[in-house]
Amino acid sequence: MGKDFKKLRKKMVEEQLIKRNIKDEAVLKAFRSVKREKFMLDENEEYAYQDGAQSIDAGQTISQPYIVAFMLQALKLKASDKVLEIGTGSGYAAALLAEIAQEVYTIERIEELAVKARKVLSDLNYDNVGVKVGDGSLGWQENAPYDAILVSAAAPYVPEKLVEQLNKKGRLVIPVGEKKGVQQLKLITKKYSGKIKKESLEYVRFVPLLGEDSWR
């Protein structure tokens, strides 16, 4: 008998998200819908709903569900939003974004991961997601401006191009800090005036964002 992933998904939402103050209904609904097991390595599928990060291809990770939920909630996403994700990885966060927002664009530095994520997203009928291989620290200018940007890798500072590609009233969530160690999530909000508001959120651990305007 295989695992009852639907039941495990429901339990994950109740115990890992709701009990930790994830209240955004759109975010909770997305987590109830997206099949995390489809984004795991086959040998790790049974751990899909455990409370932690898991290994994926190319020495990368699929983040802990709670941290992804926390970041999505901080972005205050709306159904009409156009969102950019930096660091596609397995494609799991892109699928969650696609459940909430109208348009999603996601960039991955490692071609092997981008190709696999594109296939999984396509197989699951997420046709509102565009996947590109490239340097995430420079954003994706062709589709800018964005209402929200989610950075799923840690930078030493907030890359300038990402802030430039935000819409007025746009929001950006990014882990900033050490390359190997602890980082802090930063929420950047662009005001109508063009001024930037910065807030510090939770402490996290992410793989480094490698690129021209980040870690080399």
pLDDT digits (tens, 9 = 90+) for 162-179: 999 999 999 999 999 999
What's this model's pTM, rounded to 2 decimal places?
A: 0.97
34-54, pLDDT tens digit by residue?
999 999 999 999 999 999 999
| Residue 2, pLDDT above cutoff 80 | no
**Interatomic CA distance for residues 190 and 85, integer angstroms:** 17
Q: Cα–Cα distance between 112 and 79 in angstroms, integer?
A: 30
Give residue-wise pLDDT tens across range 77-134: 999 999 999 999 999 999 999 999 999 999 999 999 999 999 999 999 999 999 999 9
Which amino acid would we find at residue 213?
D
pLDDT over threshold 60, residue 64:
yes
Tell me the catalytic residues: 63
Instruction: Provide the pLDDT for residue 1.
Output: 46
pLDDT band for position 194 (cuts 50, 70, 90): confident
| pLDDT of 145 strictly over 70 | yes
CA angle 71/74/76 to nearest 5° reads: 120
Superfamily of domain 5-204: Vaccinia Virus protein VP39 (3.40.50.150)
Mean per-residue pLDDT of the chain: 96
Distance CA 205, CA 185 (A): 10
- Whole-angstrom distance, CA of residue 16 vs CA of residue 51: 7
